[in-house]
Each structure stands twice: as C-alpha cells, then as structure tokens.
Copies of this chain bind each other. A is one copy, B any other.
Amino acid sequence: MNDISALLEPRSLAVIGASSKPEKSGHVLLKSIIVNNYQGKIYPINPHTEEILGHKAYKSILDVPGDIDLVFFLLPGQYIGDLFDHCRQKNVKAAVIVAAGFSEIGAEGAEAEDKLRQLVQDSGIRCIGPNTIGFINMQANLVASFVLFTNWQDGPIALGAQSGIFGGAVADELMARTVQRIGICKSVAFGNKIDLDETDFLEYAWKDPSTRVIALHLEGLKRLRPFLSLANRVKVDKPIIVLKPGRTDLGARASASHTGSLAVDDELLDHAFRQYGLVRADDLSEFLDYMKAFSYQPLPPGNRIGLVTFSGANGVMASDELRDHGFELANLTDSTLKRIREFLPSWQPPSHPLDLWAALEAGNRLVHEEGILSVLNDENTDAVLVILLALSNADFDGMREIYQTARQQQPDKPIFTVMLGGEVKQKWLKDIDGLDMPVFESTRLAIKSLQAMRWYSRIREQIKPDPVIS
C-alpha cells in the first residue's frame, strides 16, 4: 500500500505553471489554494513574472529557498519529464500531474504515459494523474482544484473520482446548493493512476478520523484483488459506496477510450462488489443520494417502514416502491392508532399508509407533529418515510422543531423525507436545513437509498472479514 498522506498533507507546495491570467487553470488552482486559507508555504513557479496573487513567483522550484513537499504540474505533458529532475533535487514528496493527453488518447499517449510512469517510479515521488483536476483535504484547509471552490462544505464523506473534471462538476453542483448540502472532507481525482490509485485512497480514508462514509467513482480498477480484499476489511468500519460505469459493451468501449481502462466482466465485478460488501449505485443520482443518506442518517435496524403521507396517492406510490425494494409496511400498534385517531376527522378511520390531509383541519402544526412522532415512536417501525405536501394550505412555522424533537426522541431510527410543492417546499427545506434530515427528489430515490443502507447494515451484521482473503 502506498501512503497517500504525502500528497494530502503537505507543509509546503509549489504550482509549476502558475499564471496571472484569470482564465488559466494555473491561476484558478493557485487562487483556490489561497482563498481557502491553506496555512503552509505557497510557491508559484513561473519564469515570466515576479508575483502572482500576492505570492512571490520563482523561475524554477530550484530557486525556492525552503522545502517543497508537493508540486502541481500545470503544464502540457511534454514539459513534465525534465522538471522531475528538479523535484528529485528538491526532495519533493508528492506531485499532481494535471495535463491530459496520455493513455486516454491511444497508443501514442500510452507510450508517453509509460515514460512518465518510469520517471515517477525512479523518483519515488507519490503522484496522482495525469489527467486530474487536483484534490481537496479540508483538514489541511487545502482546496487544490482547477475548478474554483470558494464555499466547500466539510463533512464526513471521503470522495474519490476517476475523472477530474466530471468530479469537479458534480462537486460544483453539490456545493452550490443552498439546502441539503452534503459535507466532503477529502476528495481526490485519480486521473490515469500512474502511481496512487483508489486502493491507496481507500486505505487512507479508512484510517482518517474525519471520514465516516467512503464514496468512489471508478472506471477501471487498477489493482482489483488488493482493492477488494481491502474493501472487505474497510466495510466493517465504514460504508463504501461505488459508482462503476462501463456496465455495458457500449459503456465499456467509451471507458476504454476515456481512461484507457480495461473492460472487466461487469457481472463478475457486480458479484464481487456484493460479496465484499460494497454498496453499488446504478447511476449518478443514486450515488449522490446514497452519500446523503449514509452521511445524514443512522442505519435502519429492520425492514418495517412507517409511512406518513398527506395524500393517499403518495401512499400508493410509496407502497409500490417499498414492495419493489424489499420493505414492509409496519403494523402500527394500537396505541399509535389511538394517538392518530385523536386528530383524524370522525369519518376517517386510521389506516397505514397514513393519509393526514383531511386531518389538517385539526391544525397544521399539530397534525404534522403528531403524525410524524407517533409513527416514529411506534415500536414496530424500523424507519420512517415522510411524504409532505408543501402547500400553503398545509403551511405552519416550526417544522424545524418537529424534526429536532424526532431526532432527539429516536436518535437511532432513520427518517427519510420527500416533499412535493413550490414556495412552501423551499421554506420548509430552509427551515430544517443543517439537521442532517435527508429530503429526496423522488420517492423512488428515497426508498432506494434506504434499501442501500438496509443492505449494508445486514452485510455488516452478518459478514465478518474473511480471514483467508484479508
């Protein structure tokens, strides 16, 4: 196993190809490092200028007076080779090679990549790339990416991505959200994996005290067996969510052209993921929602769901999805039904799924509070799905207190929410923000996420690490 900490925790860094021009990657990356308050030494390297973004620029890393732990290469690939010698002389420990145009473009690029790999191996310098956007380590205040992030949210997720700019765009979307943001403490884009890869990142994330959830976007797996063997041990402590496209012949062909990844029999790989306890997401939406679910909520201890809705139609649709995904509607206890009957109109018998729309006559806040808490506290429910109709007819102040009370009363029972509506939905989302209460864009995604957590919870209960493999 290679130690990725040389990369993620540098005391000083140099940006070769730093630029004064705002549109250049060598400017954006440097700016990102500075505005996010990295506390180590920062050395822009550029032979044509004296100073960039308030930092003295040097012609070469050999001119830098102090030590350099980490070097960013923001130059076309052909210039990197010569500069590796300088890195060796300066005793540089790690490097990020941003340039694209290597194995992902075919035979010529593969040859260049082989040369670069040899250089890296000879140097002993730990590298990510080529073809990477950079990385983020919030515990080092280090946001080193050529997509500018000024508002990165720290949190319990370690996110590794094969592809740089794709990961950058996903993160840009996540971090631009004003509600329901997820927190990411470490993020690395591996690129073509000339040296460090997903297995190294997995090992680091496993031991990282800031990380509770590990999420990996993979196109190829550089070292399949070591990866699976490690994952088998890691998953006992932390869930590993995997997005591995290239499932089909068409996708695999595109992947080979994109990253030079070799095609793997997806059926075998899928089987291995299941066997070793990795949670596989089928597409990007699921990948992001699983991250939210796992990082926000406790694991469900069973399959019995309490379903609180404000429209019978939502109860029907959610029931279909629950059945599709292996869940049961809980048998609510008599005391819960009695508690609910208190505020239902006299003509409406309580049933499950609960439909509380007509009950709102008794008071919007009362009915939301009693509806959610009574089902949550029912001893027969293992998790609760709440489908709200965020309409002005149902509006009230105090949704935040209800969810806070819910969490206090049942800290170990997952609460998943779906909201339908316009303005009031935005109000309620803001109101409960920061409570780690996940709200999903669709009932299907909510229930798929809950299923992923339930599956992982069973895997972790039942399967101990296999002594032969680990």
Contact = CB atoms under 8 A, between A and B. Distances in A.
Interface of A: 23, 25, 28, 100-101, 104-106, 108-109, 146-148, 161-163, 165-170, 172-173, 175-177, 217, 219, 245-251, 253-255, 257-259, 282-285, 310-317, 319-324, 328-329, 345, 347-349, 351, 353, 355, 357-358, 389-393, 420-426, 441-444
23 contacts: A100-B358, A101-B358, A105-B349, A108-B347, A161-B313, A165-B357, A165-B391, A166-B389, A169-B389, A172-B424, A217-B313, A245-B313, A246-B320, A247-B320, A250-B323, A251-B319, A254-B353, A257-B351, A258-B313, A258-B315, A258-B355, A284-B443, A285-B444
A182 to B, nearest CB: 14
Contact of A254 (B23, B319, B328): B319
Contacts of A393: 23, 25, 28, 146-147
Given A166-B389, A169-B389, A251-B320, 16 more contacts: A105-B349, A147-B391, A147-B392, A161-B313, A165-B311, A165-B389, A167-B313, A172-B424, A173-B421, A176-B423, A246-B316, A250-B322, A250-B323, A251-B316, A257-B351, A284-B442
Nearest to A444: B283
A310 B250 contact: no
Nearest to A151: B422
Contacts of A323: 248-251
A254 B315 contact: yes
B148 A316 contact: no
Instruction: Provide the main secondary structure of the chain A interface.
Output: helix
Number of copies: 2
A348 B101 contact: yes
A253 B311 contact: no
A264 B172 CA distance: 46
Nearest to A253: B319
Contacts of A169: 311, 389-391, 420-421
A168 B347 CA distance: 23
B284 A317 contact: yes
B347 A105 contact: yes
Contacts of A219: 313, 316
Given A105-B347, A321-B283, A245 B316 contact: yes
A253 B312 CA distance: 11
A310 B169 CA distance: 10
A421 B328 CA distance: 37
Nearest to A177: B422
Contact of A259 (B253, B285, B312, B348): B312
A163 B441 CA distance: 20
A441 B444 contact: no
Contacts of A329: 250
B257 A172 contact: no
Contacts of A389: 165-166, 168-169
Contacts of A258: 312-313, 315-316, 355
Contact of A245 (B168, B170, B248, B317): B317
A245 B444 CA distance: 12
Q: Which 8 A-B residue pairs are closest in the complex by CB-CB distance?
A: A176-B422, A258-B312, A251-B320, A166-B313, A163-B313, A248-B323, A169-B420, A166-B311
Contacts of A245: 313, 316-317, 320
Most-contacted residue by chain B among A148, A175, A283 (CB, 10 A): A283
A312 B217 CA distance: 13
